[in-house]
Amino acid sequence: MPESRQHQSVPFAISLDPGSSLANKTGSWRTEVPKYVDRMPPCNHACPAGENIQQWLSSAEEAGYEAAWRQIMADNPFPAVMGRVCYRPCETACNRAVLDEAVGINSVERFLGDEAIAQNWSIESAVAPTGKRVLVVGAGPSGLSAAYHLRLLGHEVTVRDSAKAAGGMMRYGIPRYRLPRDVVDAEIQRIVDLGVRLELGTAVTELAGPLDEFDAVFLAVGAHIGRRAEIPAGDSARILDAVSLLSGLEEGERPLLGRRVAVYGGGNTAMDVARTARRLGATDAVVIYRRTEDRMPAHPIEVTEALEEGVRMRWLSTITAADAGRITIEKMRLDATGFPQPTGEFEELDTDTVVLALGQSSDLTLLAGVPGVTVTDGVVEVGANLMTGRPGLFAGGDMVPDERTVTVAVGHGKKAARNIDAWLRGTSFERPPRHAPATFDRLNTWYFSDAPATVRPRLESARRITTFDEVTGGLDESTALFEARRCMSCGNCLECDNCFGVCPDNAVIKLGDGRYEIDLDFCKGCGLCAAECPSGAIEMFPERS
Amino acid sequence: MGQQRIRFYQTGSFVVGNRLLDPDQRSVQSDTRRTNSLNSGHRACRGCGEALGARYVLDAVMRATGHQMVAVNATGCLEVFSTPYPETSWQIPWLHSLFGNAPAVATGVASALRAKGRRDVRVVGQGGDGGTVDIGLACLSGMFERNDDVLYICYDNGGYMNTGVQRSGATPHGAATTTTPAVGPDPGNSFGQGKSLPLIAMAHRIPYVATATVADLRDLEYKATRAMEFRGARYLHVLVPCPLGWRTGPHETIRVARLATETGMFPVFEAVDGEVVGVTKIRRRLPVTEYLRPQGRFAHLFGETPRSDIIGKLQAEADRTVRTFGLVDPEEVS
């Protein structure tokens, strides 16, 4: 083109073609580069069952209840049970508690679990059958969880339990007012429908046979024997143990407790028995515990509910003698190390029945003669993969050293299933590395609305102590949705578009479906996106030279 | 009638968007089809509040006018960093004249459009606080007085930042600039000087006056959109922190703007026909030190001998602003 023609295309008095600033790649100014990250939210980190809580809350926020429920089911086959009996370490860890109150994760889980039962949602295994056979001994939360996961992994699973009904401590240890039995039945039935074979009323007394017959065995026999204490007692003194009382009640027995019941112990079972005693007509239920309230192993919620129901507490006390109609109590004091010491001060208390709730131990007679298995302090020693010293024999739940809760047991079941599966395939299970924690200081909490926690309805105490009706009610859809939406999505993108909006250089590309990308041609590395991300899901890294 | 806040728990109205919101309730900035009036590749500093504010406002005006808008720009940072010859970052019809006459040029553009019978095309004038509060004030006042059909936007970063951080009529009291250095018994910008252009604009009884910051996007978009519902002279005053002049980190721009409102140093309100009709209440009131401390231009107040007397006077100014505009509910006033 001749030079004169070129100049004709340029406006008057302009000697260069006008151009867009896009030619100026300002990304070269950058010394730091933002990156989207995923961090470990404290709820997920604290969950003994390893649930991906934040992920299912995120689905629930969009009213995707079935997707949320399926996300829970990937880790835990008992959402409706969990939503009632879990002591919610997730909520204790929740970052929102620093801002106002923890997200009611447990109540949302219960809503999802109940919704699944109401809608009859079911689970199917998508894995081809492996032909491997696994025996699970014990149909409690740990055994059933293991059976469920093993079945999902394609194995043939048989669960044997000596009891007439499945559920273990969920049925025989936790009173109905905390966990209605139709909920337990529904969630167990779903596991049976998945193809797990349940053999009830079948006690496993030795393991040589099963270990030959099956490719692997998982033991989860629980801890159903109440510990005794040496209390000098007269012939006519009435002393029961808590686990027998609770399981007998489940089998239809109506124990004669009398009007004045003393419960010896300070754990959750002690609260369960004292509250049960009130419901069975005891006008005076007293919990006698050696230490102070703050040292009680019982969960604060249970202590509070017991107090509301008129249960009395005698802290710093031990029972030194029991006789017909009365017990002798010695006052204790805590020494410098917090250990209770006797004071020599005694007191008498009118009591019809003493119930011992001093902990439980496992019946391990079935392990007799199995080589390689070590039992220490009444619990079975297992490796990190939950395998005992006998190859192919695994154990979990209350019979191995750990905290004794339903959620921990369910977590053991999942962990055992993964390790058994790996063992059956001749490999080993490696837990994927965890993301770095999403701590509170990483959040930009300005962006979260003020929203107090939703309180679950509870039965009034007058009705509580006369029936075994469920004490705590559930949330309805609107309140469950509200509660789910209080989640701050710690350490993971919640798709708020802040990064896309606050970049002064239009250098964030929104790809949709919650995905974003930084346009490094134009990102100057100012860090506004990272600073204004509510969830702390963007981090600045030094630019590589 | 103020903006209706979206009661939406989790992130409320504070974030740019929310996946849970209906698309018609989302902000302009969360829309992938936003105009990007001021496009990538501009030469503004890292974390520039003015670049952010200009895109926020003009994208909202573009949506409100159905993309029928002409912008007239005063000289200043915004013009210098966006249009180095022969490139432009503007994706809208854009006109630059001089430092002092942007309101007059905008008036002329509005008159020309009226002469051509184009009532659909709307005119926006814009400049920094230097070009607006000081140099262009005469023709801006004239524009207000004649009630010309122009929305004038002032991006207030409290100084002549482009030419080397000199003091303007909008520089806060006590702030150090290159012309008000932190020396002597009364360091920084003198008390008793400076002006509030929103109040001056209101005194002209023009149809609409509003203030906003880059820290509250939804409020800013609401005000830019609302301004286009009026005909006649309108004025929008947007606080846009300047990392260079305020000596803050580039990532702190939005946080500092938020602190300006939460401490009462910058009132966010709107006025119709010279009367205040809505204020954005302070959400969590903070002492002014929270706003001053992160900024290098106030560092001399927190040195070895802290100037609690100057901080006290700034706090008294903030308290007066909070009272004047009713920025906290009566029971919360300390």
Average pLDDT over residues A15-24: 85
CA A235-A240-A246 angle, 5° bins: 160
Name the most confidently modeled range: A154-168, A232-246, A327-341: A154-168
Question: Would you state the pLDDT for residue B21?
Answer: 81
Lowest mean pLDDT segment, chosen from A101-110, A207-216, A236-245, B303-312: A236-245
Closest by Cα among A418, A393, A395 to A152: A418
Distances (CA, A) of B100 to A82, B131, B135: 69, 6, 5
The SS3 of residue A320 is: strand
Give the residue on A whose Cα is nearest the Cα of B28: A501
Residue with tokens 């430092």: B99
Nearest to A501 among B10, B17, B43 (CB): B17
Q: Do A242 and A346 belong to one domain? A: yes
State the average pLDDT for chain A. Answer: 92
Tokens read off for B145: 């007085």
In B173-182, which positions are buried (b, 16+ CB within 10 angstroms) versus exposed (e)? bbbbbeebeb
Q: Do A73 and A103 belong to one domain? A: yes
Q: Is residue A7 part of a domain?
A: no
Q: Do A211 and A96 belong to one domain? A: no
CATH of region B31-332:
3.40.50.970
Q: Which residues of B touch A486 (CB under 8 A)?
A: 9-10
Tell me: the pLDDT tens digits for B66-124? 999 999 999 999 999 999 988 999 999 999 999 999 999 999 999 999 999 999 999 99
Q: How many CA atoms lie within 13 A of B33 on its CB side?
A: 6
Average pLDDT over residues A132-147: 97
- Mutation to test the A interface, candidates B40, B246, B256, most A Cβ within 10 Å: B40
Question: Would you state the pLDDT for residue A229?
Answer: 80
Does position B333 have pLDDT exceeding 60, yes or no? no
Question: Would you state the pLDDT for residue B332?
Answer: 53
Q: Is residue A322 part of a domain?
A: yes
Question: Would you state the pLDDT for residue B334?
Answer: 44
Question: Would you state the pLDDT for residue B23?
Answer: 81
Whether the predicted interface score ipTM is above 0.90: yes
Lowest mean pLDDT segment, chosen from B20-29, B244-253, B292-301: B20-29
Query: Taking the C-alpha atoms of A310, A455, A494 and A535 in order, what is their torsion angle to the nearest 10 degrees?
Result: -60
DSSP string covering B13-40: TTSS--TTS-GGGS-GGG-TT---SB-T
Q: Is residue A532 part of a domain?
A: yes
Closest by Cα among B321, B291, B323 to B174: B291
Query: Domain boundaries in chain B?
Result: 31-332
Does position A4 have pLDDT exceeding 60, yes or no? no
What distance in Å separates residue A211's CA from the closest CA in chain B? 53
Q: Domain containing A186 — which CATH number? A: 3.50.50.60
Nearest to B15 among A23, A24, A534 (CB): A534
Q: Give chain A's length.
A: 545
Question: Would you state the pLDDT for residue A268?
Answer: 93
The SS3 of residue A59 is: helix
A525/B40 CB distance under 8 A: no
If you ran DSSP here, which 8-state letter would residue B71 be given? E
Please tell me the distance from the alpha carbon of residue A42 to that of residue A535, in angstroms, as a whole number. Answer: 13
Element (H, E) at B310: helix B308-325
Q: Which residues of A touch B36 (CB under 8 A)?
A: 506
Q: Domain containing A479 — which CATH number? A: 1.10.1060.10
Please tell me the distance from the alpha carbon of residue B85 to that of residue B27, in angstroms, as a whole number. Answer: 33
Tell me: the pLDDT tens digits for A481-526? 889 989 999 999 989 999 999 999 999 999 988 899 999 999 999 9
Average pLDDT over residues A291-297: 91
What distance in Å separates residue A106's CA from the closest CA in chain B? 18
Nearest to A19 among B11, B86, B258 (CB): B86
Q: Is residue A301 part of a domain?
A: yes
Residue with the bigger pLDDT between A468 and A13: it is: A468
Q: Do A499 and A523 belong to one domain? A: yes
Pairing outcome for strands B275-279 and B269-272: antiparallel
Element (H, E) at B313: helix B308-325
Q: Which residues of A touch B260 (CB under 8 A)?
A: none
A35 contact partners, CB below 8 Å, separation of at least 6: A518, A538, A539, A540, A541
Q: Do A33 and A49 belong to one domain? A: no
Q: Is residue A244 part of a domain?
A: yes
- Mutation to test the A interface, candidates B15, B89, B244, most A Cβ within 10 Å: B15
Q: Domain containing A517 — which CATH number? A: 3.30.70.20
Q: Which residues of B touch A510 (CB under 8 A)?
A: 32
CA A413-A196-A162 angle, 5° bins: 75
Q: Which residues of B touch A19 (CB under 8 A)?
A: 86-88
The percent of residues above 70 in pLDDT, for chain A, comes to: 97
Question: Would you state the pLDDT for residue B3?
Answer: 52
Give the residue on A whose Cα is nearest the Cα of B87: A19
Residue with the bigger pLDDT between A455 and B279: it is: B279
Residue with the bigger pLDDT between A460 and B155: it is: B155
Question: Would you state the pLDDT for residue A57?
Answer: 95
Q: Is the dihedral of CA A252, A258, A260, A266 positive or negative?
A: negative
- Contact present, B238 and B57 (Cβ < 8 Å): yes
Pairing outcome for strands A225-226 and A375-376: unpaired
Residue with the bigger pLDDT between B105 and A453: it is: B105
Average pLDDT over residues A92-114: 95
Question: Would you state the pLDDT for residue A458?
Answer: 87
Please tell me the distance from the alpha carbon of residue A327 to that of residue A284, in angstroms, as a whole number. Answer: 14
Q: Which residues of B touch A531 (CB under 8 A)?
A: 251-252, 254-255
Please tell me the distance from the alpha carbon of residue A480 to that of residue A457, in angstroms, as a whole number. Answer: 13
Does position A316 have pLDDT exceeding 60, yes or no? yes
Q: Which residues of A touch B46 (CB under 8 A)?
A: 29, 524-526
**Residue A389: pLDDT band by 50, 70, 90 thresholds?**
very high
Q: Do A257 and A329 belong to one domain? A: yes
What distance in Å separates residue A84's CA from the closest CA in chain B? 25
Packed helices A141-152 and A406-424: angle between N→C axes, nearest 10 degrees: 40
Question: Would you state the pLDDT for residue B247?
Answer: 97
B12/A449 CB distance under 8 A: yes
Question: Would you state the pLDDT for residue A84?
Answer: 96
Last residue of a domain, one of A335, A359, A383: A359
Range of the domain at A102: 42-122+439-456+473-484
**Greatest Cα pair distance in chain B:** 64
Lowest mean pLDDT segment, chosen from A442-456, B22-36, B79-93: A442-456
Give the residue on B whose Cα is nearest the Cα of A17: B86
What distance in Å separates residue B129's CA from the closest CA in chain A? 19
B52/A22 CB distance under 8 A: no
Q: Is residue A69 part of a domain?
A: yes
Segments of A449-519 assigned E as strands: 508-512, 515-518
**Dihedral-angle region of residue B248 (phi above 0 means left; psi in -120 to 50 means alpha; beta otherwise):** beta
Q: Is the dihedral of CA A84, A88, A92, A95 positive or negative?
A: negative
B41/A25 CB distance under 8 A: yes
Distances (CA, A) of A36 to A32, A495, A535: 13, 12, 11
Tell me: the pLDDT tens digits for B142-169? 999 999 999 999 999 999 999 999 999 9
- Contact present, B225 and B63 (Cβ < 8 Å): yes
Q: Is residue A5 part of a domain?
A: no
The domain total for chain A is 4
Does position B242 have pLDDT exceeding 70, yes or no? yes
**Residue A1: pLDDT band by 50, 70, 90 thresholds?**
very low
**Residue B13: pLDDT band by 50, 70, 90 thresholds?**
low
Question: Would you state the pLDDT for residue A527?
Answer: 97
Please tell me the distance from the alpha carbon of residue B248 to that of residue B267, in angstroms, as a whole number. Answer: 21
Q: Do A97 and A241 belong to one domain? A: no
Q: Do A75 and A182 belong to one domain? A: no
Q: Do A247 and A353 belong to one domain? A: yes
Q: Do A345 and A293 belong to one domain? A: yes
Q: Which amino acid is at A47?
A: C
Q: Is residue A234 part of a domain?
A: yes
